[in-house]
Structure 1
Amino acid sequence: MTDRSPVGVLVHGTTPPDQLVSVCVGIEDAGFGELWLSEDYFFLGGPTSAAMALQATREIPVGIGILSAVVRHPAVTAMEVSTLSLAYPGRLITGIGHGVPFWTRQMGLYPKSPMRSLRAVIETTRALLAGETLTIDDGPFTFDQVSLVHPNPAGVDLYAGVIGPKSLELAGEIADGTVMSVIAAPKYLEYAKQHIAAGAAKAGRDPSTHRIPTFVIYSTDADGDVARAAAREGLAFYLQAVGPTPMTGVYGIHDRLGEILALGDLAAIAEALPEEWVEEFTVSGTPKECVGRIRRFLEAGATSVVLAPFPAERNAEILALTATDVLPHLEEHL
């Protein structure tokens, strides 16, 4: 067991690159247990940001959540991961997923078979890191006597970033963990764990070792209504971006969600969201309320809760309040 806090922080992709180092140092110094950087196209580069974070911090694990399986050749992904993991042993977590279809289609990179591509990337990246030489000409990616000059046989944690049931089973089969989206609420986490366990059983893996860091829309304030209003806007943004998925399907709300999304305007969508959705899909409210909500996510199966603060411009203020009024009280009950 680790004595690290089960609460991490997702660094906003809108963070100016020249502020990234100070933000990451502040997160570690405040006592958070994990630091995650997204590669949302076209904001901050995942491996580049991770390199800056690893160099600037001392011990905190740094996760990339997530790299699209189709944006880089897996030999390049393996090279990047090997470089960082050898320079900072035991601290890098790499998430690989399908990628947001809207962004990958912008680059003409949407795969014919997302599942096949994801399996190929995770399996070949792992093989190259282990020191294997690959020659493959019948898959979505071609390798002709490819090997790394600097492999990492000690192993690197490779997580999947997926949502659907078949992808979750694949994650359980081939990945060390699954990065959960910011819409992954407790009921979905229980659903996801079942599919991950089924995939793990197929491969003879122990599902209890599978890590499930869960990103969550987060806002806290002495005035709980202020915090919930900010979280409502964040939830509306993400629901509009991803639409109906299994994360909302497990709650049986797709008909109502469709009606709300049909409003089109983000402000109108935010106003129409039921209060119970804000309470279920976000961690928001007073610090005391947030302690209870973080515990709900952990009890549902999250191995860590990774906070994505809203609004972004209050990031430093929200994290400072969390460090003093949330983390200590959460630890009392764990």
Structure 2
Amino acid sequence: MTTLPQIGIRLHGGQTASACVALATAADTAGLSGLWFAENAFARGILPAAAACALATRRIAVNAGVFNPFSRHPTMMAMEIVAIDELSNGRAGLSIGSGIASAVAKLGLSAEKPVPALRDTVTIVRTLLRAEEVDHAGPAFTARKVKLDFVARADIPILLAGRGNLTAKLAGEAADGLIVSNMCSAAFSGRVAALMQEARRAVGRTGAARVVQYLPCAIHRDRATALAAAKRAVGAMVPGFWALGQRLASAKDALMDGTGIGEDDFAAAAARLRAGEDAATVLDERFTAAFSIAGTPDDCLAAAAAYAAAGVTELALTFEGDEAIADIGLMGAALAGAGAAAAGAGP
């Protein structure tokens, strides 16, 4: 029997709160697993949308994915995620990441040493969620004799976001899982997931941690239509991520590990896309196979299964365009069909 990861959706500050609610309710109805609210620098803040979605849905998880401690102090993170948890009747999750260094620098701050900041944040937030007083003075963040004045759910899950080895190890040691960003291959995600799980075992923690992968999704009964949409979604990210790969070895590894796409191919594609060429013409199917879930419903389930085999436990898919709500329904129907087939097959 083919193993599939959980399937959720990624929402972001480029969407209005009303648009997020429409997508969230579609995902809830379709039986998808989670909402993941990406708070990108200088776009809309996620809290109004997350609160609205918490009230509009009944069963789907409502995850901050991610909060940046350089723009939101860890004590504020705890206060806010507990409020979302209360609104959603215990469905909230928190993810923490250090964000894009260039955006942080615009605030007069430095994210050059993200791991100590993430460690401080997890320490402060976990202590507060346990209804304990935190008295912590770390290299990045301090909270002196602070305690929430209400009782929170102590086991709100905390994940870290990042692609570097040190972040993956910290996620294993101190968090409940790891979020891997867009434009990371399944092979790369599997490698950092294994590193996180190994770090978890090394400190005596039992059970496996969660691994969430962000990906664009283009699902359609006509494969060519889906692939053209997927190429455009991936193409919108190639120039920026290729430029990031010139500065960060981990970002380049994420693009190339197991994809069969060479440096010259990436450089040429990035240049053509920057010049305004259509991604549906510039990119070949290696790019959609490596960095999206795309094709017919059966194609999408097969691609999702490959991520599960690599160690990913949940896909947070971005559905864009005028047909996004219908696409979410199509994905839900495919998952329901796969579940029914698996149940019919028996042991």
With over 3 angstroms needed to count, the CA separation of the structure-2 counterparts of 1:253 and 1:109, relative to structure 1, is farther
1:317 aligns with 2:317: no
- Letter of the 1:20 partner, please give it: C
- Letter of the 1:329 partner, please give it: G
CA-CA distance at 1:330 after TM superposition: 3.0
With over 3 angstroms needed to count, the CA separation of the structure-2 counterparts of 1:158 and 1:266, relative to structure 1, is farther
1:248 aligns with 2:258: no
Tell me what 2:299 maps to.
289
Say whether the 8 Å CA contact 1:260–1:269 is kept in structure 2: no
- Residue pairs, 1:116-265, within 5 angstroms: 116-152=116-152, 154-206=154-206, 208-243=207-242, 244=245, 245=251, 246-251=253-258, 253=261, 255-256=263-264, 257-263=266-272, 265=274
1:329 aligns with 2:328: no
- Letter of the 1:43 partner, please give it: A
CA-CA distance at 1:297 after TM superposition: 1.5
User: Hey, what's the Cα distance between the residues in 2 that align with 1:5 and 1:255?
Assistant: 30
- Letter of the 1:173 partner, please give it: E
With over 3 angstroms needed to count, the CA separation of the structure-2 counterparts of 1:72 and 1:175, relative to structure 1, is same
Tell me what 1:98 maps to.
98
With over 3 angstroms needed to count, the CA separation of the structure-2 counterparts of 1:194 and 1:20, relative to structure 1, is closer
Calculate the aligned-residue CA RMSD, in Å.
Answer: 2.4
With over 3 angstroms needed to count, the CA separation of the structure-2 counterparts of 1:313 and 1:42, relative to structure 1, is farther
- Letter of the 2:235 partner, please give it: A
With over 3 angstroms needed to count, the CA separation of the structure-2 counterparts of 1:123 and 1:100, relative to structure 1, is same
Tell me what 1:272 maps to.
282
1:306 aligns with 2:316: yes
CA-CA distance at 1:12 after TM superposition: 4.5
- Letter of the 1:230 partner, please give it: A
Cα deviation, 1:245-269, whole Å, max 9, x if unaligned, reads 1311423746232343344616448
CA-CA distance at 1:193 after TM superposition: 1.7
| Higher alpha-carbon deviation: 122-131 or 47-56 | 47-56
CA-CA distance at 1:161 after TM superposition: 0.8
Structure scoring higher RCO (CA < 8 A, sep ≥ 6) equals: 2
- Letter of the 1:258 partner, please give it: A
Say whether the 8 Å CA contact 2:239–2:271 is kept in structure 1: no
Say whether the 8 Å CA contact 1:135–1:145 is kept in structure 2: yes
1:37 aligns with 2:37: yes
CA-CA distance at 1:28 after TM superposition: 0.5
User: Hey, what's the Cα distance between the residues in 1 that align with 2:32 and 2:14?
Assistant: 20
Q: Which runs of 5+ in 2 are unaligned?
A: 246-250
With over 3 angstroms needed to count, the CA separation of the structure-2 counterparts of 1:66 and 1:138, relative to structure 1, is closer
User: Hey, what's the Cα distance between the residues in 1 that align with 2:324 and 2:106?
Assistant: 30
CA-CA distance at 1:219 after TM superposition: 0.2
CA-CA distance at 1:162 after TM superposition: 0.8
CA-CA distance at 1:216 after TM superposition: 1.4
User: Hey, what's the Cα distance between the residues in 2 that align with 1:214 and 1:19?
Assistant: 22
Say whether the 8 Å CA contact 1:185–1:282 is kept in structure 2: no
Say whether the 8 Å CA contact 2:235–2:273 is kept in structure 1: no
Aligned-pair identity (%):
24
With over 3 angstroms needed to count, the CA separation of the structure-2 counterparts of 1:268 and 1:329, relative to structure 1, is same
- Residue pairs, 1:18-97, within 5 angstroms: 18-97=18-97
CA-CA distance at 1:153 after TM superposition: 5.6
- What number of residue pairs does the alignment pair up? 328
With over 3 angstroms needed to count, the CA separation of the structure-2 counterparts of 1:148 and 1:266, relative to structure 1, is farther
- Residue pairs, 1:4-23, within 5 angstroms: 6-23=6-23
Say whether the 8 Å CA contact 2:160–2:175 is kept in structure 1: yes
**2:36 aligns to what SS in structure 1?**
strand
- Letter of the 2:217 partner, please give it: Y
Cα deviation, 1:171-216, whole Å, max 9, x if unaligned, reads 111110111212233212221122102321332213x430112221
- Letter of the 1:34 partner, please give it: G
**1:85 aligns to what SS in structure 2?**
helix
User: Hey, what's the Cα distance between the residues in 1 that align with 2:275 and 2:33?
Assistant: 33
Segments ≥4 residues shifted beyond 4 Å: none
With over 3 angstroms needed to count, the CA separation of the structure-2 counterparts of 1:137 and 1:293, relative to structure 1, is closer
- Letter of the 2:92 partner, please give it: L
Cα deviation, 1:296-334, whole Å, max 9, x if unaligned, reads 112221212222124x3331232233233x223332348
